[in-house]
């Protein structure tokens, strides 16, 4: 493996030789044929950039699903796009092909997206937009046009209802609140199944409301497209600024979609653009009080800021929503919630911003009754969480997908997250009201799921583990005693017992009995066997290695290294999920092997980056970013590997970190509820 190490390190050195901004990623060459948009999001609304200037490629609303599309299951719904702007100068529409010196920038520090370009000798244009962090359903774009010579300009704010939505309608209305009128452009539609109303509204904001141009409505340009527009004439040297503020929501959260969309749009308009920007920036300032700082590697610093930014952007405090593998960047995996949320994203967010992580565990708590019913349907007690979850908490995997009925480790993953939340926050009230009910129900599931054999051991038979390439439908065999599934079941059972004792309750003795006697097999050379019939087959991702981290079921360093080096050889280098490599990095860091820890840290994301904003795909060559699961894993490699942190029963504990040779220091800033800072040099 040494030549591969050398090759990757040489590549990284070449990248680092170019100075990188820690907070911004700028695209100076925009190729629409090889373009993966950057997302600005506020945890409820995601806006994904387009290679075309002044436009959004699509809007994504968090937690909003309907039954349509792939596999007769629920899918994420497209939000109505209310922020697009068109400029026509002396009758010519500005497009990417007519824009000169066109650059786009993702500003991670402020959660905004910017573009700048020229239009011949006539004008220079700048624009900036965002999903407002302090307002969950609102978005804002600011446009500044500087005239180089005199010209006439027409500005259109275009609404687009995605083709997947039904019965689009467009409206225009005027609100006069005593200062200057607001012209409100509104779009309504129904979800593909017809059960959810979708709405969007927007208005222009002018720097001087008393000198506003006349705004007119342009009727449908096609199905689901209409606009409002105004015209002005600019003189040479004149700087002209305007904004568009918009609202995107649905009947799932608002019974009166049209009125509420228009009310919120009026509210934001009266707040005013400058006040909206200020509050938005203040909200991001607060989030960035928790940060990871790398001294000595500018490119890694930029990349880590991107991962933290997307993690913050895809989750919202108080929303009761979790994250799909692609967050609010798109519609991959139907927007469903998997173990990705609980095992890969949640721990990093819990350490950095516990109040955001609380929304993710609240999502699971609110679906506890659905998990109980799922267990009942499958003949078990307690609560069995679905492999794919959306709005209701029912199983959302397709009928032809074998993972839904058998990939039960997700139920243990929910317990792991709940226990970690208690450990970090020490919130006894939460533990009593929400944590323990989840943990107890999950423990009851595992005691009913495990089967006692003739030797008095407990086995979990006919199961699919984290390694989905070795499953229970190949060659007529069953997969029994998958290592990771048994490991996370043990952790869940033990956590339920600990939680009971913390609360002064008596735990079910069966929880301890099953946890103590769950089976873990080894091969003749001492390697932990992935499952009872495993015989060296290729594996998709980390499974056995997860017993060491995050589960802590295996703690012997010799055993950790033995398992790690054996299973590393079974995972192909290409087209496997990114997050496994983060586990390898963490384990090598804890074993004191800085070279391999650094290699797998970089290998966890560098081969998966897509242009022009270094957005992470699920695997190298993947085309469905942003893969927040992979970002969460890489962040854990800094927090729990290089940074040496550990989530222990008494809270976050600092251990001994180990850094890549070129890094001078690693600072973990604003960690945990007490916002502590840890420095590794």
The predicted-structure confidence for 541-581, as pLDDT tens digits, reads as follows 999 999 999 999 999 999 999 999 999 999 987 778 888 99
Convert the pLDDT of each residue in 584-605 to its tens digit.
Answer: 999 999 999 999 999 999 999 9
The rounded radius of gyration (Å) of the Cα atoms in the chain is 26
- Catalytic, 396? Answer no
Q: Given pLDDT bands bounded at 50, 70 and 90, which one contains residue 513? A: very high
Residue 473 has a pLDDT of 66
Both tokens of 245, joined, read 């503020």
Sequence-distant (6+) residues with CB within 8 A of 5 are 595, 596, 599
Mean pLDDT of 112-132: 97
What's the chain's length in residues? 681
The pLDDT confidence band at residue 476, using thresholds 50, 70 and 90, is: low
How much is the pLDDT for 31? 94
Please classify residue 245 by burial: count the beta carbons closer than 10 Å to its beta carbon, then call 0-12 exposed, 13-18 middle and 19+ buried.
buried
pLDDT band at 69 (very low <50, low <70, confident <90, very high): confident
Average of pLDDT values for 103-111?
98
Q: Where are the beta strands (DSSP E) in 235-378?
A: 239-250, 291-295
pLDDT at 561: 98
Average pLDDT over residues 181-188: 94
pLDDT given at position 11? 42
> Of 208-222, 262-276, 432-446, where does mean pLDDT reach its minimum?
208-222
Give the pLDDT band (50/70/90) at residue 475.
low
Whether the pLDDT of residue 184 is over 70: the answer is yes
Q: Decide if pLDDT at 15 tops 50.
A: no
Of 209-223, 265-279, 379-393, least confident by mean pLDDT is 209-223
Tell me what percent of the residues of the chain surpass a pLDDT of 70: 96
Residue 181 pLDDT greater than 90, yes or no: no
pLDDT value of residue 623 = 87
Among the listed residues 618, 646, 649, 650, the single catalytic one is 618
Mean pLDDT of 7-11: 46
Per 3-state DSSP, the chain is made up of helix, strand and coil in percentages (nearest 5) of 35, 25, 40
Does residue 10 carry a pLDDT above 50? Answer: no
Q: State mean pLDDT over 359-366.
A: 98
Of 21, 468, 513, 646, which one is the catalytic site residue?
468
Residue 17 pLDDT greater than 50, yes or no? no
- 69-73, 179-183, 269-273, 615-619: least confidently modelled range: 69-73
Per residue in 224-265, pLDDT tens?
Answer: 899 999 999 999 999 999 999 999 999 999 999 999 999 999
Q: What confidence score (pLDDT) does residue 19 get?
A: 52
Ranking 62-71, 163-172, 454-463, 521-530 by mean pLDDT, the lowest is: 62-71
Q: What tokens appear for 85 in the block?
A: 């702007």
Q: What DSSP string describes 148-192?
A: SS-EEEEEEEEEE--TTSEEEEEEEEEEE-SSSEEEEEEEEEE-T
Taking the C-alpha atoms of residue 654 and residue 667, their distance in angstroms, rounded to an integer, is 12
Q: What does the pLDDT read at residue 13? A: 42
Give CA 279 to chain center in angstroms. 23
Q: What is the pLDDT of residue 7?
A: 43
Contact 294, 304 (CB under 8 A): yes
Q: Where are the alpha helices (DSSP H) in 426-568?
A: 428-430, 436-449, 483-502, 509-517, 557-568
Residue 414 has pLDDT above 50, yes or no: yes
Q: What is the mean pLDDT of the chain?
A: 94
618 is catalytic: yes
List strands edge to edge, sheet with 676-680.
291-295, 665-671, 676-680
With 60 as the cut, is the pLDDT of residue 4 above it? no
- Flag whether pLDDT at 21 surpasses 60: yes
Token digits for 32? 């629409």
Q: What is the pTM of this model?
A: 0.95
Please give the pLDDT value at position 32: 95
At 116 the pLDDT is 98
Q: Which residues pair with 125 in a beta bridge?
A: 117, 145
Output the pLDDT for position 134.
98
What whole-number distance in Å separates Cα of residue 351 and Cα of residue 357? 9
């Amino acid at each position: 493996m040494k030549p591969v190490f050398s090759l990757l390190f040489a590549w990284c050195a070449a990248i680092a030789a170019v100075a990188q901004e820690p907070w911004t990623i700028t695209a100076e060459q925009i190729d629409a044929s090889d373009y993966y948009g950057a997302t600005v999001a506020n945890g409820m609304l995601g806006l994904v950039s387009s290679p075309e200037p002044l436009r959004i490629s699509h809007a994504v609303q968090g937690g909003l699903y309907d039954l349509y599309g792939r596999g007769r299951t629920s899918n994420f719904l497209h939000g109505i796009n209310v922020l697009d702007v068109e400029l026509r100068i002396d009758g010519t529409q500005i497009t990417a092909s007519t824009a000169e010196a066109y650059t786009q920038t993702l500003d991670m520090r402020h959660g905004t997206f910017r573009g700048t370009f020229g239009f011949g000798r006539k004008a220079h244009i700048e624009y900036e937009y965002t999903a407002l962090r302090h307002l969950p359903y609102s978005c804002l774009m600011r446009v500044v046009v500087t005239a180089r010579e005199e010209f006439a300009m027409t500005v259109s704010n275009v609404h687009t209802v995605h083709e997947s939505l039904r019965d689009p309608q467009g409206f225009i209305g005027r609100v006069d609140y005593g200062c200057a009128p607001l012209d409100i452009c509104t779009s309504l539609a129904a979800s593909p199944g017809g059960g959810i109303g979708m709405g969007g509204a927007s208005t222009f904001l002018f720097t001087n409301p008393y000198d506003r141009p006349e705004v007119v409505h342009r009727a449908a340009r096609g199905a689901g497209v209409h606009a409002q527009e105004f015209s002005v004439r600019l003189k040479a040297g004149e700087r002209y600024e305007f904004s568009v503020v918009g609202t995107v929501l649905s009947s799932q959260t608002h019974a009166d979609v049209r009125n509420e969309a228009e009310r919120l749009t009026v509210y934001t308009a009266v707040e005013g653009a400058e006040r909206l920007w200020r509050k938005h920036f203040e909200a991001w300032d607060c989030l960035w009080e928790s940060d990871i700082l790398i001294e000595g590697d500018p490119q890694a610093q930029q990349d880590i800021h991107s991962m933290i930014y997307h993690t913050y952007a895809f989750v919202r405090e108080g929303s009761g929503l979790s994250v799909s593998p692609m967050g609010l960047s798109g519609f991959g995996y139907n927007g469903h919630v998997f173990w990705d949320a609980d095992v890969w994203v949640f721990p990093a967010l819990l350490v950095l911003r516990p109040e955001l992580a609380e929304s993710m565990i609240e999502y699971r708590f609110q679906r506890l009754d659905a998990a109980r019913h799922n267990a009942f349907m499958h003949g078990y007690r307690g609560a069995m969480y679905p492999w794919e979850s959306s709005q209701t908490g029912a199983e959302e995997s397709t009928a032809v997908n074998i993972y839904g009925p058998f990939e039960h480790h997700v139920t243990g993953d929910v317990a792991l997250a709940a226990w970690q939340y208690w450990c970090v926050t020490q919130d006894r009230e939460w533990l009593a009201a929400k944590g323990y009910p989840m943990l107890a129900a999950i423990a009851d599931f595992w005691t009913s799921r495990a089967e006692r054999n003739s030797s008095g051991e407990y086995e979990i038979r006919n199961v699919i583990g984290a390694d989905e390439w070795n499953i229970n439908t190949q060659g007529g065999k069953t997969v029994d005693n998958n290592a990771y599934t048994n490991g996370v079941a043990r952790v869940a059972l033990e956590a339920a017992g600990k939680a009971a004792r913390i609360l002064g309750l008596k735990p079910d003795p069966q929880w301890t009995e099953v946890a103590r006697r769950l089976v873990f097999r080894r091969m003749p050379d001492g390697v932990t066997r992935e499952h009872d019939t495993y015989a060296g087959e290729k594996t998709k991702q980390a499974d056995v290695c997860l017993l060491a981290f995050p589960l802590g079921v295996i703690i012997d360093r010799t055993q950790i290294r033995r398992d790690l080096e054996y299973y590393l050889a079974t995972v192909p280098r290409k087209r496997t999920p990114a997050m496994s490599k983060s586990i390898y990095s963490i384990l090598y860091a804890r074993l004191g092997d800085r070279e391999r820890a650094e290699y797998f840290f970089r290998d966890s994301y560098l081969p998966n980056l897509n242009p022009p904003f270094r957005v992470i795909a699920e695997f190298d060559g993947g085309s469905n970013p942003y893969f927040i699961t992979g970002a969460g894993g890489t962040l854990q490699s800094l927090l729990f590997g290089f940074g040496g942190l550990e989530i222990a029963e008494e809270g976050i504990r600092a251990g001994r970190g180990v850094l890549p040779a070129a890094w001078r220091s690693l600072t973990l800033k604003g960690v945990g509820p007490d916002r502590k800072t840890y420095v590794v040099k």
